[in-house]
Structure 1
Amino acid sequence: MGFTVSEHSAGHMRRILRMFLTRWGLDPLYDASALALTELVANVVRHVPGRRCTVLILREPHGLRVEVADGERVTLAAKAAEPFAEGGRGLTLVEAVTDRWGVVEGADGKTVWFECDA
């Protein structure tokens, strides 16, 4: 199901994430995955016209996978932010707190994903 997200949507997504992690017995993954999910939702709010996205939270044999898909085909490349810049650290944070992450581009847009191992 697709969502139109706003500045407050990350909080709702974190509560849903916590519910799934608790049910799956993966509570120790919450802090890292909540931060990464917040950054990906924030990127949609900042960079996707219409702010539409789909969020998938998946239980994997190794732990957790989260995907945020949107209709934009342009990928924001992860790069080092300027030391005093107000933004540009989102994907760097995702890389720092997750075990793996990446981007899959398709005809209908892109999916940014991350995985956290249990």
Structure 2
Amino acid sequence: MEIRPIKTEDDYKAALREVSAYFDHEPVPGSAEGDRFEVLLTLVQSYEAKHYPIDLPDPVEAIKFRMDQAGLTAKDLVPCIGRLNRVYEILNRKRPLTLNMIWKLHQELGIPAESLIQPPKLPLAA
């Protein structure tokens, strides 16, 4: 099993081509081909994390995504955020999240804390 580090974009593309073939016919875990597939995936993931990082979503976008995902309404956020008017202030970026709100949103709705603790994007100027 000759596998080299992915150092260039050409190496990356070659690794992607090889990995994509395995998705059609996934090898047996623990076999020589299975081990090769696993190592290649690890290399590809490492290269992508370094060269194509994905930013965390804005806190409000993270909340809205979770609401959409779970079919929640603003009223469903009251236990985590406070009164309904406070929920709308948060969703409309008129008020920042407090530490207590962040903790409850993370605990109750499973929103990653990393997404909630970053500074929110400023509201768009009218």
* Interval of TM-score (by shorter of Structure 1 and Structure 2): under 0.3
Name whichever structure is richer in strand by fraction.
Answer: 1
Higher RCO structure, 1 or 2 (CA under 8 Å, sep 6+): 1
TM-score, length of structure 2 as denominator length: 0.24
